[in-house]
Each structure stands twice: as C-alpha cells, then as structure tokens.
Amino acid sequence: DVKVTQSSRYLVKRTGEKVFLECVQDMDHENMFWYRQDPGLGLRLIYFSYDVKMKEKGDIPEGYSVSREKKERFSLILESASTNQTSMYLCASSLLPSGDTQYFGPGTRLTVL
C-alpha cells in the first residue's frame, strides 16, 4: 500500500514562531507537493519538488520555504508564523509529474495564535 505520512495531525503555534511540517513517502516518488486547503478555495499549491534538492514555487509561496534533502522527505517551513497561515496543510507525492495520480497524506491542521 502506498503511504504518505505527515508528522502531526494537529499543531498549535504562536505568531512569530518557526514551524516545521514534515512529510515522508514510501513509494520512491520523484515528485512531492505541499498544498494548503481553505474553505471555498480548494487546494492551493505552495511549493513542489521534482527531485532531491530541487524546488519550485507554486501559486502561493510567500511566507513559506521548503527543504528536500532526501527523496522520501519533503519539509515545509514557516519562517515566522502568522495568523493568516492558519490552515490545513496537505502533502502529496506522485511518480510522474502533472497528470499523474497524486497520493496525499492525512493533513496537518495548523493553528497560529
């Protein structure tokens, strides 16, 4: 069974804190993605990576950075968390880019106070 795991299901942080969200996939996929999901807005792409140490900005990268040191792990970093970053964060991976199936983790619900 394919599996994408995220380090936390729920996280509460304070404004200004540095936040790390970790994602691990066990499928040897090249491509990994970070989305945020907000009601009425669907999923919006923050960053994606198509190879180790490679990263590309998505549609809403401001306030975020990413790290991919190993193929199976893709980390999302909020350098200085703000209340408008309160959201559900979803990680996904795929074998092929674009039109291929994306496999999602269960999500991390982040609340920034």
Residues forming the site for another protein (CB under 8 A): 4, 9, 31, 35, 40-45, 48, 50, 56, 58, 90, 92, 97-99, 101-107
Q: Which is nearer to another protein, 12 or 15 (CB)?
A: 12
Q: Which is nearer to another protein, 4 or 78 (CB)?
A: 4
Shortest approach of another protein to residue 99 CB, angstroms? 4
Shortest approach of another protein to residue 80 CB, angstroms? 27
Shortest approach of another protein to residue 39 CB, angstroms? 9
Q: Which is nearer to another protein, 17 or 26 (CB)?
A: 26
CA 57 to CA 64: how far, in whole Å? 10
Mention every residue, 6+ apart, whose C-beta is less than 8 A from residue 69. 52, 53
Residue 84, SS3? helix
